[in-house]
Amino acid sequence: MVPAFASATGSAPAVTLAELAADPHPHLARLRAEGPVVRVEALGGWLVTGRELAVRVMRDAETFTVDDPRFTTAKVIGPSMLSLDGGEHVRHREPFVEPFKPRAVHAAFAGTIRAEADRLLDALAPGGCGELRRGFAGPLAAVVMAEVLGLTEVPVSDVLGWYDAIVRAVDQLTRGQDAGVEGPAAYAALRDAVAATVGAGGAEGSGGDGGLLRGAAGRLGLPEIAANAAVLLFGGIETTEGMIVNALYHLLSEPALADEVRADPALLDGAVEESLRLEPGAAVVDRYATRDVEFGGARIAAGDLVIVSLAGANRDPAVFPEPDRFDLRRANSRLQLAFAHGPHYCLGAHLARLEATIALRACFDRLPGLRLDETRPSAPYGLVFRKPLTLAARWDTPAAG
C-alpha cells in the first residue's frame, strides 16, 4: 500500500479528505513537521505547508502554473483570469482592476455596504436570535457583488443560488467526483444574465453606474466576460461571506475578545486580519509543475499537482508565534496569505476587507449582547472553502412593556 503522505525523506501518517474538511490544522502541523513539501495521496499531489515556500510557488507562474486542463474551476466555467497565466492572464484581469483599488472601492461601495447591512439587521434585530451566515453575511456579499458587476436586476436569491451551485461543483471536482449538473446549469444562467447586462449597456460600456461587466465590453468577448464574472461573483461572495462569519465565530467563541472590540472598534481591522490568518476562507490553491523541479526537498515532476495550503502557511510557527491562538493585537497578522499572493492575488481583497469591517461593526452596534447560540453549535468546515455551514447567534432585545 502506498503511504498517504510521502516526502523526499520518508512518509507521514495517513489523513483522509474527511479529516481535512473537518479540522485540517492538527494534520497540517504534523505534515509541516515532516517537511515543507510532502506528497498527499488523498489529494493527489504535493502539499506546501510553510509560508516561505507557499509565497515562492504563487510568485513563480513559469514553474507552477494554473493553466492546466485539470484546474477545477475552469472545468465548470471555462478559461478566466483565475485559470490563465502570462499575457492571457493580464488580458483577462486588466479590465477589472481599476474599480477594485482601495480609494475607488471605499468611494463607490462603503455607502451601499452600510445601507445593506442596516437593512438586513433591521429585519434580524427584533427577533433576538438568528442565523448570520445566510441571514446576513451571504446576502450582504451578494448584493454588493451584484452592484459591482451591474447585475442589479437579478434577485439576490438567484445570485446566491448560482454561487452555491458553482462552489459545490468545484468542491466535488476537488474530491475526485463528477461536477454534476447543477454547477454547469447555474453557470449557464449566470452567463445569460451577463449577456443581458452587457447587451443593455451596448458594446462601448465604460463601467461606473453601468457596472463592471459593461466596462469590459469591447475589451473581452462575451464568453470571456461571463467566465470572469463567475470568478468575481464566486470570489466576491465566498471570500466576504467567509470572512464575516469566520470572524464572528472567532470573536464570539471567546467572549473577552468580543468585549474588547465592542469597547474599541478600532480593533476590528486587526480582528479581521487575525481571523483571515487563523481560518482563511479558501484553504488551498492549486498549481501544476511545468517542469521537473527540486523544491523544498521534494522531487516534483513536470505535470504534478502542487497544492499550496494557505491554511498551513497562515499557521507557520516560524512566522506566527503561537499560531493556533487568536491574537487580537498580533503585530504581523497582515502577513497572512488568505488572499493568495503573486499574479493571482485576490482582485477584491480591499472590497472584502471593507465589507467585513463594516459588517462586524454593524453587528456589534446593532445586536447588543451578541453571542453564539450554544444550542446550535457551529465551527468552520470544508475541504477547499472553510467557514461555518451555519452561524446561529443570540442577542438582547428591549424588554416588552
Residue extents of the structural domains in the chain: 5-394
24-62: per-residue pLDDT in tens?
999 999 999 999 999 999 999 999 999 999 999 999 999
CA-based nearest residue to 387, from 171, 176, 157, 129: 171
pLDDT value for 188: 93
Segment holding 145, helix H or strand E: helix 138-149
Pairing verdict, β 64-65 and 45-48: unpaired
Pairing verdict, β 392-394 and 371-372: antiparallel
Rounded CA separation 75/191 (Å): 15
| Residue ranges for the chain with pLDDT beneath 70 | 1-13, 201-210, 399-401
pLDDT value for 13: 59
Q: Which three cell numbers stand for residue 107?
A: 468611494
DSSP string, 349-377: HHHHHHHHHHHHHHHHHHSTT-EE-TTS-
pLDDT value for 401: 37
Q: Do residues 5 and 41 touch, judged by C-beta distance below 8 A?
A: yes
CA-based nearest residue to 233, from 388, 119, 104, 73: 73
pLDDT value for 331: 96
pLDDT value for 168: 87
pLDDT value for 261: 96
pLDDT value for 140: 97
CATH superfamily of 5-394: Cytochrome P450 (1.10.630.10)
Does pTM top 0.85 for this prediction?
Answer: yes
Burial (CB < 10 A; 0-12, 13-18, 19+), residue 60, is: middle
- DSSP-based three-state secondary structure for 383: coil
